[in-house]
Amino acid sequence: MQAVQQRVERAAGLNVPILVLGESGTGKEVLARFIHERSPWRSGPLVKVSCPAIPGTLLESELFGFQKGAFTGAYAAKPGRIEIAQGGTLFLDEIGELDASLQAKLLHVLQGGYFTRIGDHEEKRLDARVICATNRDLHREIESGTFRSDLFYRINVISVTLPALRDRRDDITYLADYLRVQFNRRFERDAPPLSSETLCLLRQRDWPGNIRELENCIARYVVLGSEESFYAERVERAPTHFSYEPSPDGNIPLKHIAQQATRRMERDVILKVLQANHWNRRKAAEILKISYRALLYKARQAGLPAKRPRQKTDTSGDFAQESAD
């Protein structure tokens, strides 16, 4: 991420298109705002166009605007997003889903630097920095014929790839704490920092929704006031089947699969019993018919916290660490 920051800071002041690549939820819009605020166009507006959110039949008028009487329902002239972005930054989000006909028109604007409203003959000059973003593999889209190669090379003067959250696990601790502070302020709460056990659990997850998914988790923690939701969610996400990979000679490692399945089932049962007994480990051990020492060992091996996750008290509204026994 430091390399990403250095790259965009060098490019922010140049009037060249920037293409931001990355999976959904990695923060492409945040990066676009970061670039805008460090550019000579920061005093102008940052205008976002979500290409898949607007139907293709309406997107052209949204982008270029229209004159009165240009089509049925055009009762008054309206500027498009390109015109509104004059003097600022035009952010085309998920450009990989732009309709083929609009790709040609956008290419014409970027190449010539001029555009016209629908139903008008007067050309207006494009005076805005252009940033595009997509979660698609545009090289593959070009091969399949769904994205124009000439448009790709026009918008891909400088490209920046945002890594998935699973590829930057060391940042999760800092991101989680940053989000906790932000949500505390937004919801007027006072949730304390997450425990080391919970942070370890967060760093182990794959995060298919990336930072957006992490945001939801931290918001839930701040609102509900308990770390227990992180562990309950892990049980809910546990698959009901177990995958395996045959060895090169075609053998199926049944013993290994059985051990994996047993450990996962044990973990789920232990967590549910602990939750049902308010995290009283001695009582849970009695119910499970195992020794207290064995329960501690199995819980540690399964990555469960040593103590009950923090939860909000009903009286003072403060957050406290409750005893495990």
Distances 117 to 52, 80, 89, 90 between C-alpha atoms, Å: 21, 7, 19, 16
Tokens of residue 40, six digits: 């000579």
Residues belonging to the chain: 325
Cα(118)–Cα(231) distance, rounded to whole angstroms?
55
For residue 128, what are the domain limits?
2-163
Domain-located, residue 122:
yes
Q: What angle, 0 to 180 degrees and rounded to 10, lies between the N-to-C axes of helices 228-237 and 210-224?
A: 130
Domain-located, residue 38:
yes
Cα(319)–Cα(190) distance, rounded to whole angstroms?
7
Say yes or no to pLDDT of 245 above 70.
no
Instruction: Please report the pLDDT score of residue 323 as a whole number.
Output: 40
Helix (H) or strand (E) holding 232: helix 228-237
**Region at 318 (left for phi over 0; alpha for psi -120 to 50; beta for the rest):** beta
Cα(180)–Cα(174) distance, rounded to whole angstroms?
10
Please identify which residue in the block is written with the tokens 């009695």: 286
Which residue has better confidence, 62 or 270?
A: 62
- Between strands 124-125 and 114-115, the pairing is antiparallel
Mean pLDDT across 172-186 = 95
Task: Kindly tell me the burial class for residue 295, based on how many C-beta atoms sit within 10 Å of its own C-beta (0-12, 13-18, 19 or more).
Answer: buried
CATH (domain of 103) = 3.40.50.300
Tokens of residue 3, six digits: 């390399």
Domain-located, residue 138:
yes
User: Quick one: pLDDT band at residue 207, thresholds 50, 70, 90?
Assistant: very high
Domain-located, residue 285:
no
Mean pLDDT across 194-205 = 86
Q: How many folded domains does the chain comprise?
A: 1
Instruction: Please report the pLDDT score of residue 300 as a whole number.
Output: 79
Percent of the chain predicted with pLDDT > 90: 52
Domain-located, residue 143:
yes
Give the chain's radius of gyration (CA, Å). Answer: 26
What sign has the CA pseudo-torsion 197, 200, 204, 208?
positive
Q: What angle, 0 to 180 degrees and rounded to 10, lies between the N-to-C axes of helices 172-187 and 210-224?
A: 50
Least confident of 140-144, 293-297, 306-310: 306-310
Instruction: Please report the pLDDT score of residue 303 as a whole number.
Output: 75
Domain-located, residue 301:
no
Domain-located, residue 310:
no
User: Quick one: pLDDT band at residue 235, thresholds 50, 70, 90?
Assistant: very low
Question: What is the pTM assigned to this prediction?
Answer: 0.71
Domain-located, residue 155:
yes
- What would the pLDDT profile of 38-55 be if each residue is shown by its tens digit? 999 999 999 999 998 888
User: Quick one: pLDDT band at residue 212, thresholds 50, 70, 90?
Assistant: very high
